[in-house]
A and B are shown apart, each in its own frame.
Chain A
Amino acid sequence: MNIKALLSLRRGRPSLPQPPEPPAAAPALSAGGARVTAPPKMADNLPTEFDVVVVGTGLPESIIAAACARSGQRVLHVDSRNYYGGNWASFSFSGLLSWIKENQQKTDLSDECEDWRKLILEDEEAIPLSSKDKTIHHIEDFCFGDQDSAEGVEEAGALPKLPVFGAPAAQRVSPGSEETPAAERVSPGLEKENPTVESPGEEPQTPEPEQAPGTEPARAAPGAEAGAAPGSGAAPSTASGESAPEPAKTEAAPSESAAQEPKKITYSQIVREGRRFNIDLVSKLLYSRGLLIDLLIKSNVSRYAEFKNATRVLAFREGKVEQVPCSRADVFNSRQLTMVEKRMLMKFLTFCLDYEQHPKEYQDYESSTFAQFLQTRKLTPSLQHFILHSIAMVSETESSTLQGLQATRKFLQCLGRYGNTPFLFPLYGQGEIPQCFCRLCAVFGGIYCLRHAVRCLVLDRASGRCKAIVDHFGQRISANYFIVEDSYLSESTCTNVCYRQISRAVLITDRSVLNTDSEQQVSILTVPPLEVGRAAVCVIELCSSTMTCMKDTYLVHLTCPSTKTAREDLEPIVQKLFNLNTEKETENEELEKPRVLWAVYFNMRDSSGVEKSSYAGLPSNVYVCSAPDSALGNDCAVKQAETIFREMFPAEEFCPPSLNPGDIIYDEDEIEPEESGLNNSPETKPESSAEESSSGDGAAVAKEE
């Protein structure tokens, strides 16, 4: 074991030239995409020869990078963005605002310099890559007016209908001046952080608040749809607001005045506490027996992350949110089910666990939908609803009996591994997971360059294979295999590809959709389609202990396959579940619902399931990874990564457990700690120990089932 590991590690460690000098002081790292940093002037000693070049740091690319480095390949992993994860990324609040702004500015750099074409030799051909991400559309963000709007003018409580929108506009005499003192700058920021409507000429929108009961402030919409308004760049962005020091009184004053509602969170608090947010662009959960969990454990990448159990599965039925009892314990403890229902449900769920053993029970319904099958099973309507929408999570009109049974069984099989629901959520957000695989890759010698754009793939005419990339420095980097994320491919490569879209909404709210004794709940709720032909909407509500939002707020993700724009698809659901009014206009029944403090809608391109043959002119040693799909789990990405890896290296194992290179470097004289078989009890002696020893981890993996 040790020897083998040693060997594989030896191979895994590329011999890098020691940089003669430390890299020049360059402006720091990514993280959250809060800043857009100019690319470093020069890549210091970036090697020009690799085995595998991976372009894009989304989940499948990162898994492949890790797998390749792990099997001894020399890997270069680049991303043109200044953050990890591509469309799998998560952002702090200010980072998300910058991301929104960036994606609203649809200015394509057509004046692009094509100098790199000179570098292509005669027996070569260039396949240009896209320089602009075109996967995000219809972004609309909203800040829901709250008392904060007046904080800038220091009016605690007593500001009923002051021209909230006019006031800051009037204040902002010099919108371009970044030198505005922080306290003043905050007020335009809070009032409306969407820069697209901040062009000074838009005062006519001022009367909006009076005429908009029952809908969100419509003011943001036109601006957002029209794209970047002139001058928006000059307006003080909230990104700067986050770090801007604010007078502490702005927080204290309104919360005192609004004493009847405790812990009222204001927009400025969200901005100030912005780094407590880790807002995922995709909203997914990990099935506790899904492929991703298995891979995390198998590869030991799991040691880089921590998780929270989803604590509740919810249903939305007859206008009400209720908890779905799904585990045996839940069913027995449920107060909402009658004894008869409990028995029915248990009987049905038990049947689903091994339905294949009882073909007679469902044979006659194989051609019907699962919903029709459920109707024959002596289940009350509420139970049918729970099973169809919250447990199987399949379509009422389209999913067959077998699909429903399979989905139900998958759900049930995942119960109990880590808790009472089948799902886990990574602390700090889904965006951590690609980074964890990248770290594994780096530990095994993979080289990482963010903000590193690739101009083109270089095709060797004779062999028909790709032999190199040309990067934004005009540097040619050669390799045997190339992994490229779909969004990096140019329009001409993708002309024949038919993409689907995902509709997404992210809300920051002030309380849970279902209040119980504990505030710290992670809930998943499936809202059945409101009209035929639409898809069900998956709602995931995260609490602050998931480290994705600030205290006393909830982060709510809504996801469905698109039929229209994200806002058209999701806003009806948001209106049913949440209160979008400013409190002055709030009616009593709305008070029951969580209040939305801030929201964003966007459509994201779903490139999953595209056949490689649909891409025009890609050589056989170029592999394409998909952006996230709309499914709840991550199986699609893991499958794709494994498939691509196996195509490239059929003889290699996919992500075997990794040892700590630290164990191995000093092999001659430091073998003992490894062989002493320390498992889980390093407590025995306060001595140095090599973490994650092979023996310990191997045992854990073997033990899992």
Chain B
Amino acid sequence: MMAIRELKVCLLGDTGVGKSSIVCRFVQDHFDHNISPTIGASFMTKTVPCGNELHKFLIWDTAGQERFHSLAPMYYRGSAAAVIVYDITKQDSFHTLKKWVKELKEHGPENIVMAIAGNKCDLSDIREVPMKDAKEYAESIGAIVVETSAKNAVNIEELFQGISQQIPPLDPHENSNNGAIKLGRQTSQMGRRCC
């Protein structure tokens, strides 16, 4: 049986660029035009095979806390990857992308895999951000970049496959999880073991 690795992925980007839609498309293969801005799932999961491992993505949405620039540092803790989303039809959202990257570098874990998603590529007739700009910027910070459409299911799978491939192979030393305890369902077993 393949080993399962849980990988926390956090989503970043301005309100309204389609963060939640990307997750919904990826996890549920569903798109909702009327998605409310604060529908932040606590986190959603999807497991995908990668080499001889299974990657179980725990995808965290901002739950709207980015709206007034009040994301909590705990949001970044332990993330293996971050998907930073902008809207190709909004130049502003590409500008703030850089702020999110800076924020991530300051507060996120080191060696976090960064993926930039230029969402709403189905609307390329009103595009404001050239693909070239995004590519150059992504290269400069060592991030993956794709243009996506959560609406038309373009490049969503590819985005996460790209992340999967960038995740470094499991370090045997990290395997033990350093003795960290998760409360809740696992701990009922844990408790039994300790008693």
Contact = CB atoms under 8 A, between A and B. Distances in A.
Note whether A and B form a binding pair. Answer: yes
Contacts of A43: 68
A200 to B, nearest CB: 32
A22 B92 CA distance: 8
B70 A449 contact: yes
Given A22-B87, A25-B96, A439 B188 contact: no
Given A22-B15, A680-B185, A29 B90 contact: no
A419 B194 contact: yes
B70 A448 contact: yes
Contacts of B182: 302-303, 306-307
A592 B170 CA distance: 39
**Residue among A43, A450, A686, A699 facing the most chain B CB atoms (10 A cut-off):** A686
B58 A19 contact: no
Interface string A67-85: 0000000000000000010
A327 B154 CA distance: 58
B179 interface: yes
Contacts of B96: 22, 25
Interface in B59-89: 62-75, 77-78, 87
A280 to B, nearest CB: 13
Interface in B8-61: 14-17, 23-24, 26-30, 32, 35-49, 54, 56, 58
A418 B191 contact: yes
| Main SS class of interface, A | loop
Contact of B184 (A28, A300, A687): A300
Interface stretch (B99-107, B115-123, B133-141, B145-153): B99-107
A18 B41 CA distance: 18
Contacts of A700: 184-185, 188
Interface residues of B, number: 73
A658 B42 contact: yes
B126 interface: no
Contacts of B190: 418
A293 interface: yes
Given A27-B99, A418-B191, A662-B27, A302 B15 contact: no
A25 B95 contact: yes
Contacts, number: 241
B73 A44 contact: no
Contact of A662 (B29, B42, B47): B42
**Residue among B46, B48, B65 facing the most chain A CB atoms (10 A cut-off):** B65
Interface bin, chain A: 35 or more
A164 interface: no
A682 B44 CA distance: 13
A31 B99 contact: no
A451 B106 CA distance: 19
A59 B47 CA distance: 34
Contacts of B66: 29
Given A442-B40, A445-B38, A688-B27, A29 B70 contact: yes
Nearest to A329: B194
A342 interface: no
B42 A686 contact: no
A14 B191 CA distance: 39
Contacts of A445: 38, 64
Contact of A418 (B17, B77, B178, B187): B187
A450 B70 contact: yes
Contacts of B41: 443, 660-662, 665, 691
A293 B191 CA distance: 14
Given A22-B16, A682-B47, A416 B194 contact: yes
Given A306-B181, A439-B63, A658-B42, A22 B17 contact: yes
Nearest to B95: A25
Nearest to A89: B73
A403 to B, nearest CB: 27
Given A18-B16, A23-B14, A43-B68, A691 B44 contact: yes
A443 B37 contact: no
A504 interface: no
A435 interface: yes
Interface of B: 1, 4, 14-17, 23-24, 26-30, 32, 35-49, 54, 56, 58, 62-75, 77-78, 87, 90, 92-93, 95-96, 99, 102-103, 106-107, 178-185, 187-188, 190-191, 194-195
7 closest cross-chain pairs (CB), A and B: A662-B41, A700-B185, A302-B183, A442-B63, A31-B73, A435-B72, A448-B70
Given A22-B14, A419-B181, A443-B63, 10 more contacts: A29-B107, A40-B69, A300-B184, A436-B74, A442-B64, A448-B64, A545-B178, A685-B47, A700-B185, A704-B188
8 contacts: A15-B36, A18-B37, A23-B14, A29-B69, A31-B73, A432-B74, A545-B178, A683-B4
